[in-house]
Structure 1
Amino acid sequence: MRTWTWKQIWEWMALCIFFFLLWNTIDAQIRYTVPEERSLGSVVGNIAKDLGLRIAEISDRKLRIASEAGKQYFSLDLGKGELTVSDRIDRESLCGQSNVCLLPLQLVVEAPLEFFRVEIEIQDINDNSPRFPTQQRTLKIAESTSTGVRFPLESALDPDVGSNSLKYYMLNKDECFSVKVKNLDDGRKVPELVLEKSLDREKQDVHQLLLTATDGGNPAQSGTTQITIIVLDINDNIPVFENALYKITINENSSKDTSLIRLKATDLDEGLNGEVNYYFGEHTSETDSSTFMIDQRTGEIFLKGELDYETTPRYRIDVVAKDRGTPEMEGHCSVEMEVVDVNDNAPEIVLTSLPSPVREDAPNGTVVALISARDLDAGDNGKVTLVVSLGFPFILKPSFSDHYALVTNGILDRETFSEYNIEITASDAGSPSLTTKKIIPVNILDINDNPPSFTDLSYNVYLTENNAPGSILGTISASDPDLGDNAKISYSILDSKAGDMSVSSYVYINAENGSIYSMQSFDYEKVKVFQVQVQAKDQGSPSLNSTTTVHVFILDQNDNSPIVIYPSAGMGSVSNQNIPRSAKAGHLVTKVTAVDADSGHNAWISYKLVEATDASLFSMNLYTGEVRTKRTISDQDDSSHRLLIEIKDNGEPIQSTTVTVGVSLEDGIHEPVLDYRQRAHEPGKKHGEITFYLIIALASISAVSLLTFVILTVKCVRSGRRRTCCCMRRGDPEQHKNRNLHIQLNTDGPIKYVEVLGGDMLSQRQSFKSCLSPMSEFSDLTLIKPSSTMDFKEMVNVIDASLPDSAWTFESQQRCPLREHGSSKHQERGGSNQGQIMGCVGPWAKRSRGAPTPTTTIQGPLAAKRPPSMFPLEAL
């Protein structure tokens, strides 16, 4: 039984640990073994099974061989997942005399991107027989040569390794010679011819020998060379070197003509027989002879060419020392030169796979590319480190054996950087260190992470009324920093209401360029302003959108003529007014009331008496429409007069209308005021009667008014918005959008006239809904409120139908521009946006006795642009 020592135990444990660490290092590798010269198409192994991949995944994940460089000896059968031989494999040309021949393969699969390393060991077969450099060699040996002397012969070369390599030499039978094998440190077997018996030139001057080299293959193969021995006379001493083998080291960067070594051989003979010259061996290769040279006289070896450690790391040269004797004698030695590597090769960066585009929302650790590094130098000079330059959201993740994965390590934003040119630096560990840089472009794929954005939060559009349908209002635009469909923007109008109408019935928008067009011709008197909600939506998945508001303002044109409220044309071509012949100068004959549906300057109305039967008797106020007597009526004046009155607005162009008023002078008509004054001078007993009658009249009127108010209130509650009653209620927010027109009946003595009182209900906290009740000559106040879209002429017709022609007359009150009529009072009473609207609308307008004065506030985007003196379209 074998006994183990502690030293052997520790060595065995260390060996186990080494193999364990080695196994962990190559755990991620797959190794196959295949003999050289394998036929094409031979299966090496099932790579899909060994990688744990299904057959369907091979094509889907694009399994491929990614070789760094060189010839491809293997291919993939994607249908079976097998690795097959695709080219002739000659182990000797691939690995030379190396005992182990490994061919590395790099396999890459995608989705996700993975990298595998496969090593294929090429096994040697006995396909080469030993071969001598030359088929014949001649040796000259002096007959005085002592027995036992050895003569080195040429070694046979067998490219095979292991058991297939050269095993032994055999010499044909000769009583004077035998062959011995000398094993060198590098593993070579050198045959030596041994002189077994003294030569006798007189008996045999030439010996023919056949040297055979045999390998250890099965079956064994062999090669032969012919050796001719010429027996020489005299000169019986050969030159002898101090050492049979010389070992030296040479730096790779040594300059030419550098002295490497001086050899010396000694010959005991004298004279020419003792003079020695030095030569390289007969079979020195051209590469060695072009790299080195030897001085024949001194035996000094010089560097003749350039050294390259990466090409040839060591040299072995045979040197022969020959004397000048007859016959000449020679001695042999070998010089082994080891080249010391210097850091003269910069590291290389190899892309194992092309960089894959990365989505901008890719998580950290997403593999972008597979990278490897290599350096042809040795030792520390060949150790390579890869780093990514600062400032890039990427890092290198090492895998194994100088292979790295380039992965994401930060937030990606395509709108900031659509492409990264990643700079990777490879540095070796030599001194000084050499570096290489490589730029790897990585494209960032867009995702829909940005909604469209408008240039403004809102837009104002101004459009003159009576526009042609289809005219362009304006163009809005939105931008989206994304790409492709994610940046394609379409525009649409969000459906909403403008009053009772849908906004989509007013305008439409071009979905591609954002141009807004009118669907119809607008009437300022019906629509003054409305809002359009526009949405911009991209075509991403999911799509993103944003909205903006477009305020459309309709600008007024002077497209409406003044309309006479009183006297109305419906009452006849001529309106008759009766006045007493006792009327004095300044007596109010009538008051023409007219309104204009336009706004601003277009609604400023002026009155002019263009024709009168007696121009000296009547005058007309330019702004109020009041017709008064210019003098006291005399008995000589005609009893009837005809007045032609022209009403004009202040627009461009001017619009006008006319009305004819007939005036009759009658006797016996007295003004109540005058009668009252006359009666005031009657005896005191009549004062009591008048007071009594007045009290009874006031009580009766109060009772009738209270009863009427109660009845009207009950009817309003029951019938809602019916037109047969006059009621008042709080308005809801929708009613605040409507405007009110107040028609008020006033009296001036026996003359009854109408005042038009307008107001913008937008600013009032209460809105009044008025229903026009049938009028009698005893009515004191009538309110009318048409809808915002009610035709102005229809409103006048309603008023006309409600006022009896024979009961009373009208007096119109309309004011002219602000600069002529007390703008300072307006500022004091109502401010810039608030005023009492009466006739021409304004606190400066003259009010008739007892007329209530409603107050309105003009608000909204147009309020600041409209003078408070004009008759507003909102009031209609």
Structure 2
Amino acid sequence: GGAARAGQESRCSRAAAGSCAGPGPVRYSVPEEAKAGTVVGRLAQDLGLEAGEPEARRLRLVAQGRRASVEVSGASGALVVSSRLDREELCGKSAPCALRLEVLVERPLRVFHVELEVTDINDNAPVFPAARKNLSVSENSPAGSRFPLEGASDADVGANAQLSYSLSPSEHFALDLQKTEEEGESLFLVLRKPLDRETMPIHRLVLTASDGGRPLLTGTVELMISVLDANDNTPQFNQSVYKVRLPENSERGTIVFRVTATDLDEGTNRNVSYSLLNLFPQDERDVFGINRDSGEIRLRGDLDFEDVGVYRLQVDATDQGNPPLTGHCKVVVEVLDVNDNAPEVWVTSLSVPVPEDAAVGTVVALLSVSDRDSGANGRVRCSVWPAAPFGLVSTFAGSYSLVLREALDRERVSEYEVEVRAEDGGAPPLRASRGLRVPVSDVNDNAPAFAQAVYTVLARENNAAGAELARLWARDPDEAGNGRVSYSVSEGGGGASVSGGGWRPASSYVSVDAESGRLWALQPLDYEELQVLQFEVRAVDAGEPALCGNATVQLFVLDENDNAPALLPPAGGGPGVGASGSAASGSVVAKIRAVDADSGYNAWLRYELWEPRGKGPFRVGLYSGEVSTARALEEADGPRQRLVIVVRDHGEPARSATATLSVSLVEGAEAALAAAGSSGVGLRPAEGGASAESTTTTTTTTNVWLVVAICAVSSLFLLAVVLYGAARWAPRAAVLSSPGPATLVCASEVGSWSYSQRQSRSLCVADGVGKSDLMVFSPNFPPPPGPAAKETQPDAPALLQTVSGAPFLPPSFPRFSSLPPTTLAPCCSFSSPSHGAGGGVIPAQPLATESGGCWAGA
């Protein structure tokens, strides 16, 4: 038992008998939960009863309205615990806890008041209202948020009921106990760190309440803190960037990729829908599309690696929270190249035309070659066709220079069509080409060149002033100004010596049109004054510097029959001729002398006895002009004869002169005296042209003439034989173009040698003719300078021709004069084309003779 404490403020007197009512109650204290039988106090003793008296007086305890947990022992009169004392049951939270008891004592009946204080022991642990406390905290609650908690209760009182609280360790929560006079104690759960439902959706904490008793008793409550989901998590992809490769020839509808996003939130906060955004390229084309629910990306448009090689897509995953949150990822679609593009060739720079004197290595064009494909499909090989004269040089990747590999010649090729070919490395390879037109610009590298080094021009005399003699043409293969040729007669380049002495420049006779090259006559030409005019024509181009070429022109003046024969006075100047009456047949009586200023056929004279006609006693040599007796003179012929002799040339039309000769018949002695007294023939004007009366010459004069003629003819014949041999075996060009001695050509009485339109000319000696004349041809032109031209221009004037590579120069026919008879030359024939008034062309072929020989220049 516990120790009883009796406090008796007043006691009954021990001497008194019967009941006694003390002045105050007897107080005892006993701890609660004392065991039954525990003596609380010596009630009888404290009441003043003697031993045995309590039993005798029947001491008993009367509870006031409640069950008494104590009783009075009858034998000892002690107050003992009879049943369990529970202060909390008896008094609750009241303090102090006092039980008011009444003790009755009989004999006499007396009533004593007893107060039993039940003292508290720490027999009650703190108790929370529930063993588990459920709390809901939003995960987006900020740190410092306070959540009130219901504290524990302790049935004890005093220090045993003084509670303290503690919380199980937590980084997110803490306790805060506030005590105020008005509100008392307030317990709060404080949020120290924001919550994350996705990391820990439920926090389990233990709240412990401890009292202040000895021993310490505690009570606990489990705090179940559920973190309420807030839409604080965006949908997440397992990769931030997805890379996909797709061939550019993929068909529409092809599945490109499938993305998946997760949301750590719950409920509607985790429901995700997908959308697609083109980051690159930023155009309006919808090449790709996405399924909103499944995240499946499909190809909607056509891919072209050359247009876009990489697509950057942004996929958005949006939840259904409030507010909704969106997660992002990127999908990089790499388009794989397919060889679907041929190479392309561009001309970035073209430097044309190219001068023909451009150096090897000159850059003609800059080219750019590319292929929109990649890898081997985009590697391009280039070549140039034709391979010459250009080539390709690679400067750097995709760039080439078209350079000159060989020297150019515009006159050979004036323009090139160049093709640059490109081929890629795909399988199969694709090809492309680019054509270039490369013109070659001219450089003045060609001097004007005449078709012939020497031109032979034939012009008839008495031509009209301003008549076109020939047309010269110099070829210059250059173009434009470099090939524009102007012509001029070279100053100091030639001239001619005129008859009568003196020198006149060629520019006084001819002129060349500067543009057309036409050769004009400045004045009428006179063969008797000028036979050959040699000069140089200069052709100069308009290049810079100017180049020039020269050609020699030999102008041969062709004789026209514009001069009538002129009779020469007789050698002795006598009035007449005497003839012996006994002169035999064939005796030479006189000789008619005449000259013709023309040449060739026009100067070839023939003599005809015009009167008397019939069988007269006299005759005239056809070409010698000798008057001789045709038969023996007779007296019947009369003492005096008048002869009319006509001298004609062979021109067309022929011109003539008339000579009148008086012949007197005398005796032999008188004839001798007449011969000694006069040595010529007197001439006087006569009808039909120039006429004269001639006196007879002596036989001595005739013989002298015959001797002189024979000697001259013999010398000329020997010279002709030598020239014939030289012409026969010497080179043809040299024979044709070089000056030489006289060439002998024969003529017959019956032949007709004149310039006419006939195609064939023949000069022969008739059989049986007793006499003939010797005609002397003396070419008097200088040799042509320089080598003969080798190139012939097809459209050159017809009157300019060359012979075996060298120009043929026709001979200049001298004037003919009658000479004494001599030995005849062989018969020759030749052919020549017809010619007009402006000139002619002498053929190049040598003249064949019946005896196997020929004379050049015939």
TM-score, normalised with respect to structure 2: 0.50
Higher helix share: 1
TM-score, normalised with respect to structure 1: 0.49
Structure possessing the higher radius of gyration over alpha carbons = 2
